[in-house]
């Protein structure tokens, strides 16, 4: 069997095993081991590749960025920073048409700039925002749809675990990726907000349960001083992490350490943390870190197996013969990523497609930082699309109201999926939106 055939069969086997329920890292390791064995005809070569990749893959201090940002996210969730951000946004925006929906988007954007985990955003705002919107007459589908749609901001607005994973796989600066994600994240949040206003104005029945604008909530307005105090932790975290990173005061790893220190201080000052909850946070951080590190190790093994098979070079030559330019390649790539997003999770998509597609992106001269932003947005669309929209399932499992079905949530996310796709096309055809904040946007 030729090496190209082995690589092709490995891709099919990988998709089948992941769909069957096997952990993606285990699938990558097993498929890569068998693939190298078949290509070289010697199991000892495959075993040596596994050992060498395990030693090399995460032997760098930069991998400290993973546990630090994960720890920051868990501490922020315990300290109720997301809840406070929603309360402030609610006070400022609730008199607008669709105001609570816009408040959810705004607070999710703030929460995303601190945690970088979409699933955490979905869980937090399902508990915080959905009951509030239902209480004031918003349509249940809209309430869950806006939470699911805005939760994807967690992986676009830095810090972002997906961008960290992309940076390792593509050998690109995590700090540059974070910087490149700021403007696209804000553009997506603005697109959602404008879309909500249009929906509430032109199709009120899609936003309000009885099709009419609801009266403003009768709860008293909070004093300005209280609003400032509620928003202060978010401002401190964003300024210390993103401000210091963008100003060049420290690296991405140091930014993660700063964020974790500030988040720990806030949680302690608010008396939200005791020894039991701190141990729980540290344990969960360890679980996530080990999971991500295992994924990176196995992705390294998979990448080396593909390089050994010659599959990337074969695909580059094949696409060149087809006469596809950079735009044609990119559209095919985006279509593939969105299609995979319907059946497997975000990390798995990156681990499967990037080792194959990055050589082709380099061959076409595409900027890999911009390519990373486009990739993350395309992958995140998969969080909202059936049948495997992960954010949708998180919202369903977190909801207290059993009257809202899984189908209702998917239908509620549909307008936000379309808005996200429109922003994706904008980012593809206007690359400067992703590169404008970089000091060397062309490099």
**Tens digits of per-residue pLDDT, 27-61?**
888 888 888 888 888 888 888 877 777 766 666 66
Q: Residue 367 has what pLDDT?
A: 94
Name 249's Cβ contacts closer than 8 Å, sequence gap at least 6: none
The per-residue pLDDT for 60 is: 66
The mean pLDDT value for 273-294 works out to 85
Q: How many residues does the chain have?
A: 443
Closest by CA to 27, choosing from 36, 37, 15, 38, is: 15
C-alpha–C-alpha distance, residues 304 and 402, integer Å: 47
Cβ-in-10-Å burial (0-12, 13-18, 19+) of 242 comes to: buried
Q: Phi/psi at 214 (nearest 5 deg)?
A: -80, 155
CA distance 405 to 167: 37
Residue 92 has pLDDT above 60, yes or no: yes
Question: Looking at residue 62, what is its pLDDT?
Answer: 66
User: What's the half-sphere exposure (Cβ side, CA atoms, 13 Å) at 280?
Assistant: 10
Q: What was the pLDDT predicted at 25? A: 78
What is the average pLDDT across 77-103?
Answer: 80
Would the pLDDT of 305 be above 80?
A: yes
The pLDDT tens digits for 308-355 are: 888 777 777 777 777 778 888 898 889 888 887 776 777 778 888 888
Query: Contact 150/108 with Cβ under 8 angstroms?
Result: yes
* Average pLDDT score over residue span 403-428: 91
């Amino acid at each position: 069997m030729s090496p190209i055939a082995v690589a092709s069969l490995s891709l099919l086997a990988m998709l089948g095993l992941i769909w069957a329920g096997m952990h993606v890292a285990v699938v990558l390791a097993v498929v890569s081991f068998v693939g190298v064995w078949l290509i070289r005809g010697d199991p000892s070569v495959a075993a040596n590749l596994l050992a060498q990749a395990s030693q090399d893959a995460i032997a760098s201090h930069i991998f400290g960025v993973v546990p630090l940002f994960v720890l920051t996210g868990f501490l922020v969730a315990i300290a109720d920073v997301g809840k406070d951000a929603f309360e402030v946004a609610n006070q400022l925006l609730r008199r607008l048409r669709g105001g609570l929906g816009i408040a959810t988007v705004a607070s999710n954007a703030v929460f995303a700039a601190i945690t970088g985990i979409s699933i955490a955003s979905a869980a937090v705002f399902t508990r915080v925002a959905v009951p509030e919107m239902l209480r004031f007459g918003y349509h249940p589908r809209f309430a869950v749809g806006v939470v699911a749609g805005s939760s994807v901001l967690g992986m676009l607005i830095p810090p972002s675990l997906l961008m960290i994973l992309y940076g390792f796989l593509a050998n690109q600066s995590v700090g540059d990726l974070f910087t490149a994600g700021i403007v696209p994240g804000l553009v997506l949040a603005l697109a959602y907000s404008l879309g909500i206003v249009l929906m509430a104005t032109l199709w009120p029945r899609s936003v309000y349960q009885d099709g009419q604008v609801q009266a403003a909530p009768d709860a008293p307005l909070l004093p300005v001083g209280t609003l400032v105090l509620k928003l202060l932790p978010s401002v401190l975290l964003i300024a210390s992490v993103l401000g210091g990173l963008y100003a060049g005061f420290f690296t991405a790893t140091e930014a993660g350490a700063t964020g974790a220190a500030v988040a720990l201080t806030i949680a302690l000052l608010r008396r939200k943390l005791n020894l039991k909850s701190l141990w729980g946070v540290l344990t969960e951080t360890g679980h996530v870190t080990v999971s991500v590190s295992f994924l990176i190790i196995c992705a390294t093994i998979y990448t080396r197996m593909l390089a050994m098979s010659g599959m990337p070079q074969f695909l580059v030559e094949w696409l060149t013969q087809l006469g596809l330019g950079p735009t044609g390649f990119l559209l095919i790539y985006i279509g593939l990523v969105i299609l995979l997003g319907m059946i497997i999770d975000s990390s798995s998509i990156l681990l499967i497609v990037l080792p194959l597609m990055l050589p082709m992106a380099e061959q076409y001269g595409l900027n890999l930082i911009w390519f990373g932003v486009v990739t993350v947005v395309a992958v995140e669309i998969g969080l909202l699309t059936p049948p495997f929209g992960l954010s949708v399932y998180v919202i369903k499992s977190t909801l207290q109201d059993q009257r809202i079905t899984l189908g209702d949530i998917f239908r509620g996310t549909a307008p936000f999926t379309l808005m996200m796709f429109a922003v994706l096309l904008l980012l593809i055809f206007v690359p400067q939106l992703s590169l404008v904040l970089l000091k060397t946007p062309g490099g």
